[in-house]
A and B are shown apart, each in its own frame.
Chain A
Amino acid sequence: NAGVMQNPRHLVRRRGQEARLRCSPMKGHSHVYWYRQLPEEGLKFMVYLQKENIIDESGMPKERFSAEFPKEGPSILRIQQVVRGDSAAYFCASSRDTTYEQYFGPGTRLTVT
């Protein structure tokens, strides 16, 4: 059973460009969470989604950031007009209906130049 998949693993964007991060949850998992790990900081929650629904986006910056988890395909975290402060590791986690633990992907390391 494959784990949580994230791509790309590394992403370099210039200031002002858009970044799209993809997450495929584990098979049978319908809950997806996105977290951000800034340099020398802990992990901070961004958004929690189920298929086609955003359940909790309380940790997501109000501007430039959006997330979706369509009926088919991976979850996407989109950052528009990236700035240097967006440079971080972005982790996706998934869980299934019958359990509470979250399983993490390897992360996408975004560098904004």
Chain B
Amino acid sequence: AQSVTQLDSQVPVFEEAPVELRCNYSSSVSVYLFWYVQYPNQGLQLLLKYLSGSTLVKGINGFEAEFNKSQTSFHLRKPSVHISDTAEYFCAVSVGRRALTFGSGTRLQVQP
């Protein structure tokens, strides 16, 4: 079985500051890794994915993440956040096309 830990439940940050949202996973087999964003009362939007290849992946809205196999981490970063980035962010893993296992989410609060 897989598990995902998002170490921070809330991350407050000022506008235009950099941010890192942390994600660690546990699995006995190789997994695919994903970050999703959820705005209030909406569905989840795929930000980026790591399937194979380069460990640094770039996604939408200026976000990027780095896969670190030895540390079993997949942290999400953005060099300069905007008010509009305020949302809940979920890290998820899957084995093949099986179900996604989600972390508990990190609420990013961007303050002016």
With beta carbons under 8 angstroms apart, the residue of B45, B90, B97 that contacts A31 is B97
Q: Which B residues are closer than 8 A to A by beta carbons? A: 32, 34, 36, 41-46, 49, 51, 90, 94, 96-105
Are A33 and B43 in contact, with the CB atoms below 8 A? no
CB-CB < 8 A to B43: which residues of A? 4, 6, 91, 104-107
B99 touches A59 (CB 8 A): yes
- Contacts A101-B49, A103-B46, A107-B43; A45 near B90 (Cβ below 8 A): no
Given A42-B104, A104-B36 in contact, is the A33-B45 Cβ separation under 8 Å? Answer: no
B96 touches A43 (CB 8 A): no
Q: How far is the CB of A28 from chain B (nearest CB, A)?
A: 15
Which A-B residue pairs are the 6 nearest by beta carbons? A45-B99, A104-B44, A104-B43, A106-B43, A43-B102, A42-B104
Q: Write out the residue numbers on chain B whose beta carbons fall within 8 Å of the beta carbon of A42.
A: 90, 102-105
What CA separation (Å) do A43 and B102 show in the bound complex? 6
List the interface of chain A (C-beta within 8 A of B): 4, 6, 31, 33, 35, 41-45, 48, 56, 58-59, 91, 93, 95, 100-107, 109
Contact (Cβ within 8 A) A56 B99: yes
Question: B36 — which chain A residues lie within 8 A by C-beta?
Answer: 104
Q: Residues of B contacting A102 with CB < 8 Å?
A: 46, 94, 100
In this complex, what residue of B is CB-closest to A58?
B99
- Asked if B98 and A56 sit within 8 Å, CB to CB, the answer is yes
Separation of A101 and B96 alpha carbons in the complex (Å) = 10
Residues of B near A45 (CB, < 8 A) are 99-101
- Who on chain A is nearest to B6 by CB? A42
Is there contact, CB below 8 Å, between A101 and B34?
A: yes
Across the interface, do B44 and A91 meet the contact criterion of CB distance under 8 Å?
A: yes
Q: Complex: how many Å from CA A24 to CA B100?
A: 19
Q: Which of B42, B102, B103 contacts A106 (CB 8 A)?
A: B42
Contacts of A59 in B (CB 8 A): 99
Nearest-CB distance from B91 to chain A (Å)?
A: 10
Q: Contacts A100-B94, A101-B49, A106-B43; is A48 near B99 (CB within 8 Å)?
A: yes
